[in-house]
Amino acid sequence: MVTETRPPGPVDRAEERARAARMRRARRRERRPVFLFMGPWFFGLFALTAGPILASLYFSFTDYNLLGSPSWSGLDNYAGLLDDVHYRNSLRVTFIYVVVSVPLATAAALLVAVMLSGNRRGIGVYRSTYYLPSLLGGSVAIAVLWRQIFGAEGLVNQVLAATGLDRVIALVFDVEPGTSWIGNPKYALNTLIILNIWQFGAPMVIFLAGIKQIPQDLLESAAVDGAGRVQRFFRVTMPLLSPLIFFNLVLGMISAFKAFTPAFVVSGGRGGPADSTLFYTLHLYATAFRFRDMGAASAMAWIMLVIIAVFTAGMFLTARYWVYYGDQVKLR
């Protein structure tokens, strides 16, 4: 028996619309808790992150002293930075700090990670000890302690005097015995570079995890073929760890460009002596809050963003020549 289907009438269509409306209301009720819980995150994103970023972009094209209303000045802030000798010095100091400290810190982390990769007794204590500087190194207390250690009467000069090496060091480095290494323009930046190298704990832990993932059969095969420890390290271990080396270099580079606390504490916020510790971020801070030139400071911030982006992009472009993934397949 064939049943005939009648076309939907006005009543049926009304019921379908009512059912669809009920489903939409049910879905909206289900979404409310989602938006409720995401509300604080959206507020932080727009009010505390995206809003200030867009405001700083606008301020970089204005003359704004934090007290009055900003007035449009076009590219004057960017052009004025080129004539600022302190700005050029801050770029030079920051570039030296990044180029010297980041590779040395990464190399130190890799070396210590290889040394601590075994299963000797008490190895966990040594790993914790070497990791500790990463937790403390960026603090104000350590920066104050660093200023005391490298001061005229600090621990470094006391050790040199006790061992009789103070006169030898004075001749080699062309300084007076008992000089303040922090107060000497030639060596003040070097003390901050040492401080950054000392904080190699975080990349060391990453390298340790990577070393544990290296297949032992590869190392054993290399040993059977006659490769010594040094050859196994450079021919097997380093290529397999190259993604982690690249990762730590990128993060270290970005962190070094943003370094602020050590230079601020050591130099008293002035970047001295003779601009030798005038980091880019320190000069940006002084421009914004000591000289109250928020327009120029905003321009400096956006220039730093471009510099970090260029350095990062350059590292990614060169990574294809030395970073290996998987079974030693070169990154393409």
Mean residue pLDDT of the chain comes to 86
36 within some domain: no
pLDDT tens sequence across 71-87: 999 899 999 998 899 99
Q: How many domains does the chain divide into?
A: 1
Q: What pLDDT is attached to residue 9?
A: 54
229 within some domain: yes
pLDDT of residue 312 exceeding 70: yes
What is the pTM assigned to this prediction?
0.85
What confidence category does residue 329 fall into, taking pLDDT thresholds of 50, 70 and 90? very low
Q: What pLDDT is attached to residue 191?
A: 92
Q: What pLDDT is attached to residue 331?
A: 39
Domain of residue 290, residue span: 76-330
Tell me the average pLDDT across 49-69: 90
pLDDT of residue 269 exceeding 90: no
243 within some domain: yes
82 within some domain: yes
5-19, 104-118, 214-228, 262-276: segment of lowest average pLDDT: 5-19
pLDDT of residue 6 exceeding 70: no
What confidence category does residue 216 fall into, taking pLDDT thresholds of 50, 70 and 90? confident
pLDDT of residue 190 exceeding 50: yes
Place of tokens 């920051």: 94
Q: How far apart are CA 250 and CA 135, in angstroms?
A: 20
256 within some domain: yes
Q: Contact, 112 vs 248, CB < 8 A? A: no
Residue 185, amino acid: P
Q: What pLDDT is attached to residue 119?
A: 79
Q: What pLDDT is attached to residue 59?
A: 93
Kindly state the tokens that stand for 237: 């271990």
87 within some domain: yes
Residue 283: CATH number of its domain: 1.10.3720.10
108 within some domain: yes
Q: What pLDDT is attached to residue 22?
A: 76
57-71, 97-111, 157-171: segment of lowest average pLDDT: 157-171
Cross-strand bridge partners of residue 325? 329
38 within some domain: no
Tell me the average pLDDT across 34-44: 82
